[in-house]
Amino acid sequence: MSSDGRYAPSPTGALHLGNLRTAMIAWLFARSAGARFLMRIDDLDPQRSRREWEQRQLGDLNAIGVDWDGPVVRQSERRARHIEAIERLKADGCVYRCWCTRTEIREAASAAHGPLPEGAYPGTCRRLSASERFECQMRGRPPALRLDAGGEQVEFEDRLHGTVSGWVDDFVLQRGDGTPAYNLAVVVDDLDQGIGEVVRGEDLLDSTARQVLLSRLLGLPSPGYAHVPLVLGADGARLAKRHGAITLAGMPAERAREWIADSLGGISLDPADFDPDALPRMPTTFGGL
């Protein structure tokens, strides 16, 4: 498979230093391999996505030296492909309807349920009888669609983490309002764009087993993965807006580039000199500029 890479921000606000750092690393991975780098906007959520934030994000990425090949792709414009994948899974008997509320899901996920990790959905609606499903339908609440994962353990290779394995719960493929879920959309879109290696933040490592399983069920090849260490605030939590003026609105783009390079141990941000193996393996704490 190719080494083509991508970055896929959600247009719900300005990109902070942690986001920009991850985008730069993903860009370096692709460019250093002589591969394409693509831009995809994760605007699946119509309630939170804003076109003005999209334009701001793209401008900030350009300002720090991240460029991309071809037009920007918006996930919201690819719904037909996402639904096509869901219909295929339905035809294979891998999908069931779920009427659980958020509260019910939290309560069910807090109970012990075998090998699945804490917080996993235990398949409540998969076990409903025909009469129980009818009762749920009569309440008028539109159901979400979940993948029947069968509690499978999935193993994959990550360039920075080595061999990783995880149990997969029955995760959502489509929300009750008809919006395709992230895990479904990202698998379909990465395949269609020819992505060979997904470089993204370590916070998404836990979702990768779901995506690998979904690729397999759809008969699609999985890309390679590299989950990079996060940037943390002084409180030890993942960097967020609450940690201060950490977007390009609060600093020159060149200063942001310098900080990114320093946070990576001073490695070169020139693709010709970039060595992925030199990346630090531990999170970076942002202590201010």
Distances (CA, A) of 162 to 32, 195, 257, 275: 21, 20, 28, 17
Backbone angles phi, psi at 51, to 5 degrees: -65, -30
- Rounded CA-CA distance 6/4 in Å is 7
Q: Which residues are catalytic?
A: 241
Distances (CA, A) of 242 to 234, 237, 255: 11, 10, 21
Tens of pLDDT along the chain (289 residues) come to: 578 999 999 999 999 999 999 999 999 999 999 999 999 999 999 889 999 999 999 999 999 999 999 999 999 999 999 999 999 999 999 999 999 988 887 776 665 555 566 678 888 999 999 999 999 988 888 999 999 998 899 999 999 999 999 999 999 999 999 999 999 999 999 999 999 999 999 999 999 999 999 999 999 999 999 999 999 888 888 887 666 658 998 789 999 999 999 999 988 899 999 999 899 999 998 876 5
- Rounded CA-CA distance 101/120 in Å is 15
- Rounded CA-CA distance 232/288 in Å is 11
Task: Supply angle C-alpha 229, 224, 57, rounded to 5.
Answer: 55
Count of CB atoms situated within 10 Å of the CB of 165: 9
Count of CB atoms situated within 10 Å of the CB of 157: 13
Burial environment of residue 219 by CB neighbours within 10 A (0 to 12, 13 to 18, 19 or more): exposed
Q: Which pTM value belongs to this model?
A: 0.91
Q: Which residues partner with 118 through β-bridges? A: none
Spell out the domains of the chain, with CATH numbers in brackets. Answer: 5-71+229-285 (3.40.50.620), 79-194+203-222 (3.40.50.620)
Contact 144, 179 (CB under 8 A): no
